[in-house]
Every structure is written in structure tokens, then in C-alpha cells.
Structure 1
Amino acid sequence: MTFRAGFLTFVGRPNAGKSTLTNALLGEKIAITSSKPQTTRRTIRGILTRPDSQLIIVDTPGMHRPRTELGKRLNAMVREAISDVQVVCMCISADEPIGPGDRFISAEIDANPRARTVAVVTKTDKASKSKTAERLLEIEQLRDWDAVVPVSALQGSQLEDLVDVIESLMPESPKLYPDDMITEQVTGDRIAELIREASLEESWDELPHSIIVTVDEMVDREDGITEIFANLWVERDSQKGIVIGQRGARIRQIGADARREIEALLGHQVHLQLQVKVAKEWQGDAKQLGRFGF
């Protein structure tokens, strides 16, 4: 049997469903999701191992017109991911028309002429059959694709077909990772992202892009409980009060929501301690961006 292995990346506009699709294909939550745009801020590698293939999925931030230094660096991450993979899968929402952002991303794909290209029409569960057909026609006119696959990550529709298509485009290769490995992310980074995910759902509209989370310490106690000490960073003093909420109600809710997800990840009880701190205008500060790992 011919074994195939290689790297693919999901690219697309913010909220095109890239992270939801990544999680659905892997059968495990390795990338946080949110209704807020630009939720993904890192390139996240997930590893899907099948009997005759191993696909390394590189989930990326949504490409957008940058307004901050952080935005520029996120776009640079996407360009780097495109340049390093064998297959580029461009995600386009079935319920939104093709726009300038999609055409811009399609042009960016040309930076890697060796890559095979797949158009993934996401969120077909949110669009009528006529709308999906309309989107497919627009996509066919966007560029010359190796394949076009409509999917619904939430309903699990045609995910197997997508994997089969991607697998067929990969080169013959031995396995690149151990069979039991599903992501390269370290546990501390996954926990920080789960806390940020909880904060996104609880925060006001102006806050999502201003929040970043760091995990300072994790201590495994003798009673089997893991103590986690983490910071939620915002850009201005006024935002600190919003995250904490009246009499600490919002930060307690963030902690409760995050704790459930972290316990599911670790498989045991955790004690989560959160503090809210200010890193003034960190999204535009090169020094602070470096400190936060960007």
C-alpha cells in the first residue's frame, strides 16, 4: 500500500471556519473557536494519522487588512504557512459572497506555485442549496483549483471526502510523526488559549482583540488537583474593569467556563487562579509582542 504524508494549511478570511474544521477532522479540540473574528492568533499544527496517510494540518489566523503591528505579524504567519506546505486549502463560507479579501488571499497562494490547491466551501449547513451552488460558481471563477469540496464541520458533512481529496494530493512519504501524536502544542499553551476562549465569550465587542493570556505556573498537588496561575492581559486600565465585571462576576464566570474545558483536556480537577493585568497598547508595541511570543 502506498503511504502518503505531508503538510496542508487552512487559510481564509477571519471566521471562515478554519479552526472548527481543524477540530472536526482531528476529532479533538486543539484550536479554540469563537463567534468573534480573528480568534486564532497562532499557527497550530494538528496531526491526522490514517492507515495509508498522515496529514499535518496547519491552522492559521484569518488574513485581514492589518491595523496594528500584531495584525501584520499574523498575516506574516499565514504567508509563512503557505510557503511551507504541499497543499493549500482555502476556506470560503457558503453563506457569504466572494469578496476582495478572498481575491487577496487567492493571490497570496501564488507565492507557493508548487502547492496543490483545494477550495473548501465551509458552513454549508448555514446556506441554502441555491446559495451554496452560487458560491461554488464564484469559487470556480476565482482560480484553477485542483479540487473544490463543500463541507459542514458542525454536521460532519463530506469531511471524509475532503480528507480523501487532500490525501490524494500528498506525495509518497513515510510517517512524519508518531501515531499517537495529535498536536505539537504544549499543554500550557493549550490552557492559555482555553482561558482566552472563555474570555472572548464573556467580553464586550471592543475587547476580544485586546485580550491575551499567559500561564505563569502549573503545580500538581498531592491530592491530584493541578493548580494553574494565569494572567489575562488587556491594553488599557478601563478594560481591566470590564473583564473583572461588577463585584468580580465576569472574571468568575470566565474562570468557571475555562476550568471545565481545562479539566476535560487534563482529565482531572484543576484549581484556576486568574489575575487581570494591563500591558498598555501591546498590539502595537514590538517589544511587548515579542514578550508574548509573536
Structure 2
Amino acid sequence: MSDHDQDFDALQPAELPHEDFRCGAVALLGRPNVGKSTLLNAMIGFRLSIVSPRPQTTRHRILGIATNEAGQILYVDTPGLHRGAKRAMNRSLNRAARSAISEVDLAVQVIESGRWTDEDQALYDALAEQKIPRLLAINKVDLAKDKSAMLPFVAGLMEQHSFDEVYYVSALKEKGLKELEQGILKRLPVRAPMYGEDEITDRSERFLAAEMVREQLMLRLDQELPYATTVEIEQFKDREDGVAEIHAVIWVERDGQKAIVIGNGGQQLKAIGSAARRKMEQLFERKIYLRLWVKVREGWVDDETMLKKFGYTD
């Protein structure tokens, strides 16, 4: 893991490990809550992208790197595309997802087993504009009650849509992933690796720390409140005693939301901090001292300047 965010297109490649070694960027695309982040984590064998049962958990493009003897796959996890995006935040997420399509060598559209929605169709139409290979990954096949209906569903889908290949996977159960990986690799260009074999992301520890706090907000807060929150890391430093000291601010839109995040006697905020700290210690492999504050900024979700401040960019 590198300490600074990088643009993989700007890196100078190393020597080609062997004549058939392949390397390229692959966008994981789909509507909200189809399991893209779970799939990313499973494909790289590391819990990098945060996961919750809620739609729109992923708000940023996240690069996950998987390297083996055959090649290096740069998986780009994107926010889910959703229609009717009325708020600035939603428009920003859609722009991030759409811009990823133009920057990769291959796209994997992820859908739920047995479902093809208007949002799936909108993403397919956006993909059709790009001259890159397109794979279809049907996720959550383990949850399909009537598996005999799967083949007619896919046959009907392929009559009206053009994908290079279809893969049946369960990201949660880690089924069908090897076949998907092989299908990706054979369509990537022969190219030297962009990253070291031990690197798993281009994102900084600072970014990942904010994501782990936000994950707890998504898991622990009810109804719409998680969508009115974001996390900003104000300080991240390694002390002489080997402990990483992190100061984070949880931003909300209203005073009432602040009270809910803090909870009775500060218990909710304490639980959020404790769970996030444990996740950080596992990922960063050192002791963490985490301090959290909750602050109010009205309308930050619709404020383009604040969105850029909090790292929401195309």
C-alpha cells in the first residue's frame, strides 16, 4: 500500500516479467448495491473497499491491485450509477462512475441474479459508447431460489445486449471468481506491471482511515442519516511510540443529526470510534489512537466547494 494517492496512467512501467504478462485497468460498474465492493475485495483477496447493506456506500473510485504470475489487474471500484440524481453529491458520484469508463481497458458490468433494471440499462447504454471489451458478471447467484430460471433470463438478456462473455459469481461466497479473473486477464494488453507485486491500492492511509469511520456510520445509523454524513481526516501522524494518532471530523447537515451521531452520553460516537479503530489496526498493522468530533455544515451535500474539500471529485 502506498502512502500517497497516484494516477496509475502516470506511472512508468517496470520491465515485462515475461512475454505474456498482462496488465490493465478494469472498471467494476453497476447500479447501487449489486455487490461491486464485495466483488473488488474478493478479487484482490483483501478487504479494501468498505461494505454495508445500504445503497451508495461507495462514494469514491477506489483502485484495488491484484498481481499474480499471469498479470496485474487494476480493479477500479466505482460509485453505483443512479437515475434522478437531484443533489450535487449524487451528480458527483455519477460523474465519477462515468469518467471511469473512459479510462480503463475493460469493463465488467455487475448485476444481481435474475434482475435487469432501468438503471442497469442506463449503464449498459453508457458502456456501449466505449470501444472496450465488456463482460457481464451476474452476482449473488447463491441467493437465486429458482436456478432453472437463470438460463432463460440470460438468454433473453443476450438477445438484446452485446457482452463478450457472461460470468456467474457469488462475491460473498467467493464462487466463480477464478473464471472471471481468467476472462479479464486474457483481454488485457501485454504490458509491464504498473505497481509492485505487494501493493494493493494507490489510496493513502489517510483516505482509508476516513472510509473506515464512514463505514461504521453506514452500519450503525438508521434511515437516511448516513447519507447526510461524511468524514474528514484533520490529522494523521505516526508518533515516536509507534502509535498512529488520527483526528477525524464527522460532518453532518443539522444539529439534530449531530445529537444522533453522538448518542446518549456519547455512547454512539464511542461505539463508532471503537469499531473503526479496530478496523484500522487490522489494516495498518499498528496501534491507533483515534479522536472523533462531530460538526455541522448545513447543505454540504449540495455545496460543490465543500464536496471538493471532502475529496469528491470526478
- TM-score, length-scaled by structure 2: 0.90
Amino acid at match of 2:144: A
Q: For 1:163 and 1:285, how far apart are their aligned partners in 2?
A: 40
Deviation at 1:131, TM superposition (A): 4.7
Structure 2 partner of 1:85: 104
Q: What count of residue pairs does the alignment treat as equivalent? A: 292
Q: CA–CA distance in 2 between the matches of 1:134 and 1:32?
A: 34
2:199 corresponding residue in structure 1: 181
Cα distance in 2, alignment partners of residues 6 and 28 from structure 1: 19
Worse overlay, 227-236 or 123-132: 123-132
From 18, 36, 40, give the equivalent of 1:18. 36
The equivalent of 1:259 in structure 2 is: 277
Match of 2:95, SS state, is helix
| Deviations, residues 223-257 of structure 1 (Å, cap 9, x unaligned) | 33222110111111111111111111111110111
Q: Evaluate the alpha carbon distance shift between residue 142 and residue 195 of structure 1 in structure 2; reply closer, same or farther with a 3 A threshold.
A: farther
Once the two structures are overlaid, the 10-residue window that deviates more, 61-70 or 136-145, is 136-145
What CA deviation, in whole Å up to 9, does each residue of 1:130-186 have, x standing for no partner?
Answer: 354354234323411101001011111010000000111111112122212110000
Instruction: Give the equivalent residue in structure 1 for 2:91.
Output: 72
1:124 corresponds to 2:141: yes
Segments of structure 2 that go 5 or more residues without pairing to the other structure are: 1-18
Within 5 Å, which residues of 2 pair with 1:92-131? 92-94=111-113, 97-112=115-130, 114-128=131-145, 129-131=147-149
TM-score when scaled to structure 1? 0.96
Matches of 1:244 and 1:283, distance apart in 2:
20
| In 1, Cα distance between equivalents of 2:206 and 2:157 | 39
Quick one: distance in 1 between partners of 2:107 and 2:181?
Answer: 13
Q: 1:275 aligns with which of 293, 304, 308?
A: 293
C-alpha change, 1:236 and 1:132, in structure 2 (3 Å) is farther
Q: How far apart in 1 are the matches of 2:213 and 2:243?
A: 18
Residue 232 of structure 2 aligns with which residue? Answer: 214
Q: Say if 1:51 and 1:134 are closer, same or farther in 2 by CA, change over 3 A.
A: same
Change (3 A) 1:69 1:174: same
Q: Which of 135-144 and 211-220 deviates more?
A: 135-144
Equivalent-residue separation in structure 2 for 1:132 and 1:191 (angstroms): 40
Counterparts of 1:243 and 1:132 in 2: how far apart (Å)?
A: 43
CA contact (8 A) 1:4 1:174 kept: yes
Q: Aligned residues: percent identity?
A: 37
Q: Which amino acid aligns with 1:285?
A: D
Unaligned residue ranges in structure 1 (runs of 5+):
none
State the Cα distance separating 1:208 from its structure 2 match: 1.6
Task: Determine if contact 1:70/1:284 at 8 Å carries over to the other structure.
Answer: yes
